[in-house]
Structure formats: C-alpha cells, structure tokens
Amino acid sequence: MTAHLDTIDTPDGPFTVLADGHQRVLASGWTADPEAILGRLRPRERPEQVVEGRVAALDAVHAYYAGDLAAIDEVQVSQSGTTGQLAGWRGLRRIAPGAPLTYAQFAAELGGERAVRAAASVCARNAAALFVPCHRVLRTGGALGGFAWGLEIKRSLLARERAALPAGPVVPSGR
C-alpha cells in the first residue's frame, strides 16, 4: 500500500496526517517527523511506500482550529485492532467536544465499568489522534492523565473545545 503524508501548522504546533489511497487516516499527531507518525502503527500496518502529498483530512484540521469542532467527525479513519479496540475507537468518536469522560466513565460506556485499564489501553493505542479524540478522556477527578503528544497539547485541545461551547451547563457525553 502507498500512503500519503502531509503536515500543516496549527496553534499547537505542526500536525501530520498519514492517509491511505482512499484518504482514510491511518495515523496522525502533533509532529513534523514522519517517523513519529509511522511509529504509531504496528510494523505489519505500516505502508510499503510513503509519499508526500495532499491529505484531505487536513481541511478538517484547519476547520477544527477555526472553531468548527465537528469538522473532524466526518473524516474516515482506518485502524486495525482487536474487536475491543475497534469498539473503543468508535466509542471515542462519540464523546462530545467539551464533555470529556473519565477513564471509568469511558469504560462504562463500552460496557465494562471495571475495565478502566482496557479503556486506557484503547486511548494509548489510538494512532489517529484528533480524529479519534482520545484527548477527551481524563483520570478520575479530572486530572489529564496521559497523551501521546504531550499534556500541553491535551490541555490546549480541551480548553479550545470548552471555549467553543455555548454558555450553559455541560451534559456529559452519552448521558
């Protein structure tokens, strides 16, 4: 498979997307280093060839940073994983901007409130950062927890999403 790689500048630094020939996101993140993006994929998932070229998903990234938080929702993503991981990544895409969940809440959304470690693993193994918004999952008590691209970026994304919401009470996702 040949994949396309493209990078743009964002307020949080360079953002790179690796997409397949159908423009589905394989991996993405806040770096200009192609090896860091490829490193998010398991060896057997890596494309045979990577070429620099336009990746349509970056239009959604521009729109997201311009305030259209829903722009990333329609971007197609292609990730390989276990049945549980695939369900988890679909679940992450259902978490509304500005309404983060704790790992325990996310585990409960997936049907196993005691499976907090599995929920954290789903987030950690997510290669399609932003499009599969693992940054919207926090530790119990609201601490940020981990994020592959750094806690400053996670903090920035959460603040951006919170600020874009209309005034009023925030209703947690999935409730």
78 pLDDT more than 50: yes
Give the pairing of strands 49-52 and 2-10. parallel
Whether the predicted pLDDT of 171 surpasses 70: no
The pLDDT tens digits for 90-126 are 999 999 999 999 999 999 988 876 788 889 999 999 9
The model's pLDDT over 52-70, given as tens digits with 9 standing for 90+, comes to: 999 999 999 999 999 999 9
Active site residues: 134
Task: Report all structural domains of the chain as residue ranges with CATH numbers, in order of start.
Answer: 2-66 (no CATH), 83-164 (1.10.10.10)
Using alpha carbons only, how large is the chain's radius of gyration in Å?
A: 16
d(C-alpha 149, C-alpha 140), whole Å: 21
What is this structure's pTM? 0.91
d(CA 32, CA 160): 22
Nearest to 77 by CA among 55, 97, 95: 55
Angle value at C-alpha 25, between 56 and 135, nearest 5 degrees: 110
